[in-house]
Amino acid sequence: MPVNDFDENTQHHAEILDKLDEVAEDTLVVMTSQCLNGRVDMDVYSAGHKIQEAGVIGADDMHPELAYIKLMWSLSQAEDLEDAEQIFSKNHAGELEKRSIYSD
C-alpha cells in the first residue's frame, strides 16, 4: 500500500495514510496478501509500521476471501472493535498458520 511520500510525485501517499487512519477509527481494517502462498508481515518495512499505527491489522496467511468472511463473522460476534480484533486474530478452525513452509 503506497503510504510513504518521497517526492512531489508521491505526496498524495500521505493522504492515503490519513484516510486509512480515519477509516480505522470507526471500523476494523485488515490487510491481506494477494499471493496464493503469501503472508502479511507489516513489521518488515516502514510502510507496514505506518499502516499498523493507522490501526490496520494483518491477516497473516489468510487469503483475501477468507479474511473477508472472517472479518464479517468477527464483527457480528463482537461487542466492540477491540473485541472484533481479538476474535479475528484468533485461530478458530485452522485458518491461520504460525509459519508458512515453502514446498514444491
Domains in the chain, number: 1
Residue 101 in any domain: the answer is no
Q: Which residues form the domain of 85?
A: 12-89
Q: Which residues of the chain have pLDDT under 50?
A: none
The answer to whether position 1 is within a domain reads: no
In a domain, 99, yes or no: no
> Do residues 46 and 4 make contact, with C-beta atoms less than 8 angstroms apart?
yes
Which pLDDT does position 73 carry in this prediction?
A: 96
C-alpha cell at 7: 517526492
For residue 102, what pLDDT is reported?
A: 62
What's the confidence (pLDDT) of residue 103? 65
Q: Which three cell numbers, joined as nine digits, stand for 53?
A: 499505527
CATH number, position 75? 3.40.50.40
